[in-house]
């Protein structure tokens, strides 16, 4: 299965870690959301949980929380590439998640949606906090 749509969506999220200075990652942007650092750790954990789910056939949350000593930018890229690789190499037709059997295409769509939900949340939070959006977001979304 081609995972290019997931890679595109994940890389748009990863742009936050690349373009927002690290000294801003622990700033509470709005009360309703965690910090950017918490978002990045969440994304790494969820992507790894999805990857493991593709390997085993069942997605089991909450997954494993990454170590505090990680290089977040490297782990965001790694988690993107590993999940995309599992999609590209899977022979599974279905995967079990949340008590449901999803086709691999449905599961791929779930991974893209997960990235998009967080992009929308942090678009609003970044704007409200007065921080600059990633250039790709500005150029492609024209917002």
**What is the tens place of the pLDDT at every residue in 110-135?**
999 999 999 999 999 999 999 889 98
Using an 8 Å Cβ cutoff, are 70 and 84 in contact? no
pTM across the whole model: 0.95
Q: Cα 15 from chain centroid?
A: 11
Q: Identify the H or E element spanning 41.
A: helix 36-56
Please say if the pLDDT value at position 68 is more than 90: no
What is the C-alpha separation between 64 and 41, in angstroms, rounded? 10
Please say if the pLDDT value at position 143 is more than 70: no
Q: What pLDDT score does 66 carry?
A: 86
Percent of the chain, pLDDT > 70? 99
Selected residue with higher pLDDT from 17 and 137: 17
Region 1-15 average pLDDT = 96
Residue 26: Cβ within 10 Å count: 10
What is the C-alpha separation between 96 and 42, in angstroms, rounded? 21
Q: Which residues contact 32 (CB under 8 A, 6 or more apart)?
A: 125
């Amino acid at each position: 299965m081609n995972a290019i749509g997931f890679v595109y969506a994940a890389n748009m999220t990863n742009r936050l870690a690349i373009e927002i200075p690290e000294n801003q990652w622990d700033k509470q942007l709005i009360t309703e959301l965690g910090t950017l650092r918490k978002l990045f750790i969440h994304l790494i954990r969820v992507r790894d949980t999805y990857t493991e789910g593709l390997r085993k056939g069942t997605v089991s949350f909450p997954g494993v929380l990454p170590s505090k000593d990680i290089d977040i930018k490297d782990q965001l890229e790694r988690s993107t590439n590993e999940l995309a690789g599992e999609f590209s190499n899977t022979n599974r037709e279905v995967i079990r998640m949340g008590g449901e059997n999803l086709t691999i295409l449905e599961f791929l769509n779930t991974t893209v949606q997960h990235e998009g939900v967080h992009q929308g949340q942090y678009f609003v939070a970044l704007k409200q906090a007065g921080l600059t959006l990633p250039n790709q977001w500005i150029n492609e979304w024209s917002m």
